[in-house]
Amino acid sequence: MQNEEMFKLFREAGKTVLIMNHYELEEMFPKYTLDQWREFLQTPKVQEYIRAEFAIIQESEMRKVISSASENDTSVGKAQLINAMLNATDKIGGKREGNIIVYSYVLPNEEQAKAPNTEVIKRDPFKESK
């Protein structure tokens, strides 16, 4: 019951609380103790809510930046910002596409070794070659 009341307060406070820690939440909502806010922030439901809200906000902000970039805007800073935001999106949960390369020290079996797309490397590709 207490967590539900805290969650309601948290949601109604808007996006500013998404970046607050338990100390700041205690100052804003002194009805609950520091330990209660710490425990609240660690619950899976709250963590998922914060992640989901950030994903929506980030996507929206990225669209704003991209839409504000005109064809005549050659700003390196804006291009770097867009690239950084796209990379951050990938790390948060964006889907990656393309080939997946798996490096392994395990020798392939006979069928795998004869497959046309198998490349057997007999040296350690992770060590620098001199």
- Residue 60's domain comprises 2-92
DSSP reduced 3-state for 25: helix
| pLDDT at site 2 | 82
Q: Would you write out the chain's pLDDT as a tens digit for each of its 130 residues?
A: 788 999 999 999 988 899 999 999 999 999 999 999 999 999 999 999 999 998 888 888 877 777 776 555 556 666 666 677 667 665 555 555 666 555 555 667 888 888 888 876 777 766 765 5
| pLDDT at site 32 | 93
Count up the domains in the chain and report the number.
1
Torsion angle (degrees, nearest 10) of CA 58, 59, 64, 67: 150
| pLDDT at site 128 | 65
| pLDDT at site 92 | 53
How far apart CA 73 and CA 130 sit, in angstroms, is 44
CA distances from 86 to 70, 74, 79 (A): 18, 18, 11
How far apart CA 71 and CA 99 sit, in angstroms, is 32
| pLDDT at site 95 | 57
How far apart CA 54 and CA 18 sit, in angstroms, is 8
